[in-house]
Amino acid sequence: MSFAEQVQTDSCAFNALLWVVFSFGILKFVSFTLRYVSLIADLFFLPKTNFKKYGAKAGSYAVISGASDGIGKEYAGQLAQRGFNLVLISRTLSKLETLQKEFETKYKIQVRILAIDISQDVKENYIAIKEICSELPITVLINNVGRSHSIPVPFLETEEQEIRDIITINNTATLMITQIIAPMIVNTVKRGNKKHCGLILTMGSFGGLIPTPLLATYSGSKSFLQAWSNSLAGELKSSNIDVELVNSYLVTSAMSKIRRTSVMIPNPRQFVKATLNSVGTRGGSQNRFATMTPYWSHALYQFVISETIGVYSKLVNSINYSMHKSIRARALRKAARDAKKN
C-alpha cells in the first residue's frame, strides 16, 4: 500500500470514529433532554392523580403504618379527605384515638386503629394486623413506619439494639405488613370494579439513594427497600397493583429533628400533598423504575446529582461524610451541654 493510500485509509477510519463519537453525543444529548422535559412535566404540568381509580369515595380502605405523627399522620388526613376509610397502625393508642375521632367526625369515614410496638418483632403484632384488616375492601397500603439513628454515628460504634431496631422497623416490619396486606388488595381489585387499581407506597430516602457514611445501617436499610419495592412492582403489575418507592430528602419531623421549613425542607403536609398529587410519575427519579421523588426541590436536587457526578461517586460520598460528621459533632456538643445543666 502506498503512502497516499495509507493516509486515505487512516483518514477514512478517523472520519468514521468522529461520526461514531458525534452520533453517541447526539444520542446522549437527546436522552438528557427527554429526561429533563419529563422531569419538568412531572413536577409542574401533568394533572394531579385521580384517586378514584384506587377506590376513593367507594368504600375502600387505606392502611397506613406509623400513622400517628408527621408524614404518616398527613397521609392519613389527606387520604381521608379524598374519601378513603382508614386503618391506622402506630405505637401510641391515645394519638390514634384522637385521629380516629377527628377523621370520623370531619370526613364521615370509618377508621380502625391498632396500637402496637412494631420494633418488637413478634408474631402477635402481625396476627393483630391481619385480624383488624380481615374482610375489609383494602386498595391502598402506605408503608410509612421507619426509624433512623438518634445521631450520626460510625458503624463500628453503633449500639447493637439500634442496629436491630432500624432493620426490624424499616425492613422486617415493612415486608411482613406488605405480605399481609398486599393479598387483600389483590382480592379487593379482583372482586371490585375492573377500573379500580391497588396502590402500595413505601417511604424511601435520599439516605438509601446516596450511600451515607455515619448513617450506614439506616442507609443500607433504605437501599434495601429500593430493590425490594422495585421487585415487588414487577411481580404485582399483572394484578393491577401500582407499587412505588417514594424518595425523600429532609422533611420537618421528629425523626429528622428539623423544625424549620425551607426551600429544600418541606413540612409533612407539603411533602404528602406533592406525593399524592403525583403518584404514577417519577419526578427526580427519571432513571428508576417504580420510583418517585415527588417534592420539586428534592427532585431537582436528585436530577442534578444523577446527571453530573452520580449518586455513587467518591465526591458525593465524601461530601455526605463531611456533612454528617459536622452534624454529629454539634449533637455531641449539645449533649455535653445538657449533661452539665443536669
As annotated, the active-site residues are 218
Binding residues: 205
Q: Which three cell numbers stand for residue 220?
A: 443500607
- DSSP-based three-state secondary structure for 278: coil
Separation between Cα atoms, residue 293 and residue 10, nearest integer Å: 49
Half-sphere exposure of residue 18: CA atoms within 13 angstroms, side-chain side: 6
Separation between Cα atoms, residue 175 and residue 168, nearest integer Å: 10
Q: Which three cell numbers stand for residue 172?
A: 422486617
Q: Which residues contact 224 (CB under 8 A, 6 or more apart)?
A: 170, 171, 208
Separation between Cα atoms, residue 253 and residue 257, nearest integer Å: 6
For helices 70-81 and 93-107, give the axis angle rounded to 10 degrees. 20
Q: Report the alpha-carbon angle 218-223-227, nearest 5.
A: 150
Separation between Cα atoms, residue 152 and residue 218, nearest integer Å: 10
| Amino acid letter, 116 | I
Binding residues for substrate: 205
